[in-house]
């Protein structure tokens, strides 16, 4: 332990980050900028080649700053896991999706752990950052790493530190977002905390890996449940003939006891639609039903269908049906001003419209193409698409779009994000 701490304190430590995606690459960049050597490990050959050429494919990391770290030899990408033998710290940042049955899919985590175990040596720190259910680190990761006979807290160190990445956030990035860390032993917590303090402004230690795992799920369950609530309020307001956006804005003036959330066409991103279901799944194994989580998930998952029904109603007012109508979807990324399509509700909206026979095109300044089943759609020219559409659906409210122009050229606009706030027109239908 003392040897590893000396390396960490002197920045002579060598770190590996497994998974060069939205979490791993920004983290590797912060480590490199702290003047610590980092190996970016990924199974994708094209990604590794791009990284070593100084070309970034992540919006929060510019190619210029990536190239600087590559040139300085502080960051090097590789597909070879045998580099683990020469590393002092290995951080796992791989995806943890849900399977078709909504069960946690930890295959990528365990594949990474397997490769670490094959190259493990005494004196290393392993940190899992991938979101998962409480108990994963100690129940699945720890036993595999101890098979060699090494003792945790003495021969090697193991911790869990949940990622808190918010793509496109102009204020909070990796370095200034507080970092929760839980260790299997107090020694594990100390080693991990000493490492992260070099490149994260604030460390938040907790008593165990399980507590740290639960922190992440609480954060995103809180958001999922409150978004589910405000989505249901939107449905209520629709029935009552009340503007839900006006209600939210007015309620948001209360200086205490209220936090405004926004309704929308559904949930997107890797975290909010998925993480609460990890917790729900875990609780089912303990004979407990997480009713709030399941209800919120049900409401949020049904919002794309509600949007399509609103499109149907809007077209009916023009004596048209969805079938054979030309529908323009504006914005397909899961949130504004980024290119991330993960779990985007726009994809569900498009597919539901297509199943009803609509001729769907889309425009997104951040997403050049999308793949749906066996088809590929390319982002259309906005002006041309607006001039031929029967209905425009605003799914993602990118800042750079001219919404007045969209309203002017569209026969009818269904605005699911309140992007047209301040524009007065009978053409606009709000969520």
CB 350 within 8 A of CB 324: no
CA nearest neighbour of 297 among 281, 273, 263: 273
Q: What sign results for the dihedral spanned by CA atoms 387, 393, 397, 403?
A: positive
Q: What is the pLDDT of residue 349?
A: 97
The active-site residue, picked from 188, 209, 271, 391, is 271
- Would the pTM count as exceeding 0.85? yes
Please give the Cα distance from 277 to 294 (Å, whole number).
8
DSSP string, 341-395: -TT-HHHHHHHHHHHTT-EEEEE-TT-SEEEETTEEEEPPPHHHHHHH-SEEEE-
pLDDT for 99 = 76
The label of the residue with tokens 């009340």 reads: 242
Q: What local confidence, expressed as pLDDT, does residue 52 receive?
A: 97
Number of helices (H), then strands (E), belonging to the chain: the values are 16, 15
Instruction: Give the count of beta carbons closer than 10 Å to the beta carbon of residue 249.
Output: 13
Return the CA Rg of the chain: 24
Name the packing angle between helices 209-240 and 275-284 (round to 10°): 110
At residue 208's C-alpha, the angle toward residues 199 and 14, to 5°, is 35
Per DSSP, the residues of 142-204 read HHHHTTTSPPBTTTEEEEE------TT-SS--TTTS-EEEEESSHHHHHHHHHHHTTT-S-EE
Spell out the domain ranges in the chain.
2-207, 208-301, 303-431
The reply to whether 2-207 and 303-431 are identical in fold is: yes
Q: Are 349 and 393 in contact (CB under 8 A)?
A: yes
Q: Could you tell me the CATH superfamily of domain 303-431?
A: NAD(P)-binding Rossmann-like Domain (3.40.50.720)
> Shortest CA distance to 113 belongs to which of 139, 151, 75, 133?
139
Identify the architecture of domain 208-301 in CATH.
3-Layer(aba) Sandwich (3.40)
Measured in whole angstroms, the distance separating CA 145 from the mean position of its chain's CA atoms is 28
Q: Which residues of 339-351 are buried (b: 16+ CB within 10 A; e: fewer)?
A: bbbbbbbbbbbbb
**Predicted local distance difference test score (pLDDT) of residue 273:** 83
pLDDT confidence of residue 150:
96
Q: Alpha-carbon distance 311 to 321, whole Å? A: 9
Determine the CATH number of domain 2-207: 3.40.50.720
- pLDDT per residue, tens digit, the chain (431 aa), is 889 999 999 999 999 999 999 999 999 999 999 999 999 999 999 999 999 999 999 989 999 999 999 999 999 999 999 999 999 999 999 999 887 777 889 999 999 999 999 999 999 999 999 999 999 999 999 999 999 999 999 999 999 999 999 888 899 999 999 999 999 999 999 999 999 999 999 999 999 999 999 999 999 999 999 999 999 999 999 999 999 999 999 999 999 999 999 999 998 887 888 888 888 988 999 999 999 999 999 999 999 999 999 999 999 988 899 999 999 999 999 999 999 999 999 999 999 999 999 999 999 999 999 999 888 999 999 999 999 999 999 999 999 999 999 999 999 999 999 999 999 999 999 98
Residues with Cβ < 8 Å from 169, sequence gap 6 or more?
Answer: none
With 0-12 / 13-18 / 19 or more C-beta atoms within 10 angstroms meaning exposed / middle / buried, residue 39 is buried
Q: Is 271 a catalytic residue?
A: yes
Dist. CA 155–CA 162, nearest whole Å: 24
The confidence score (pLDDT) of residue 152 equals: 97
The span from the CA of 150 to the CA of 141, in Å, is 13
CA distances from residue 335 to 130, 308, 417 in whole angstroms, order as listed:
21, 19, 10
Residue-wise DSSP of 92-107: E-----B-TTS-B--H
């Amino acid at each position: 332990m003392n040897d590893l701490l000396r390396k960490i304190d002197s920045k002579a430590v060598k770190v590996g980050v497994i998974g060069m995606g939205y979490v791993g690459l920004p983290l590797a960049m912060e480590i490199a900028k702290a003047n610590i050597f980092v190996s970016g490990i990924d199974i994708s050959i094209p990604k590794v080649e791009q990284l070593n050429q100084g070309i970034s494919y992540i919006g929060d990391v510019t190619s210029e700053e990536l190239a600087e770290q590559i040139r300085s030899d502080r960051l090097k990408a590789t597909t070879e896991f045998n580099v683990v033998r020469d590393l002092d710290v290995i951080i796992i940042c791989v995806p943890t999706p849900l399977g078709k049955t909504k069960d946690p899919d930890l295959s990528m985590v365990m594949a990474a752990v397997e490769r670490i175990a094959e190259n493990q040596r005494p004196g290393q720190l392993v940190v899992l950052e991938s979101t998962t259910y409480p108990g994963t680190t100690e129940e699945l990761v720890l036993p595999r790493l101890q098979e060699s006979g090494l003792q945790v807290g003495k021969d090697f160190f193991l911790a869990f530190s949940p990622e808190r990445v918010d793509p496109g956030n102009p204020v909070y990035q990796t370095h200034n977002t507080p970092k929760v860390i839980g260790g299997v032993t107090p020694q594990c917590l100390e080693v991990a905390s000493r490492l992260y303090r070099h490149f994260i402004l604030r460390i938040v230690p907790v008593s165990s890996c399980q507590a740290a795992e639960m922190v992440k799920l609480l954060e995103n369950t809180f958001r999922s449940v409150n978004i589910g609530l405000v989505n249901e309020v939107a449905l209520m307001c629709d029935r009552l003939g009340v503007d839900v956006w006006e209600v939210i804005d007015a309620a948001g003036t209360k200086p205490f006891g209220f936090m405004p959330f926004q309704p929308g066409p559904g949930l997107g991103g890797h975290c909010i639609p998925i993480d609460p279901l990890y917790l729900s799944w875990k609780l089912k194994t303990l004979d407990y039903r997480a009713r709030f989580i399941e209800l919120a998930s049900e409401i949020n998952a049904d919002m794309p269908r509600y949007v399509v029904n609103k499109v149907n109603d809007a077209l009916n007012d023009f004596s048209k049906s969805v079938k054979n109508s030309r529908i323009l979807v504006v914005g397909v990324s899961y949130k504004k001003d980024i290119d991330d399509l993960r779990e985007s509700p726009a994809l569900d909206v498009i597919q539901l419209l297509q199943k009803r026979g609509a001729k769907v095109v889309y425009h997104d300044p951040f997403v050049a193409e999308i793949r749906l089943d066996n088809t590929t759609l390319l982002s259309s020219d906005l002006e041309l698409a607006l001039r031929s559409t029967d209905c425009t659906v605003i799914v993602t409210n990118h800042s750079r779009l001219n919404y007045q122009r969209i309203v002017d050229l569209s026969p009818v606009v269904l605005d699911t994000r309140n992007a047209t706030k301040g524009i007065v027109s009978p053409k606009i239908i709000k969520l």
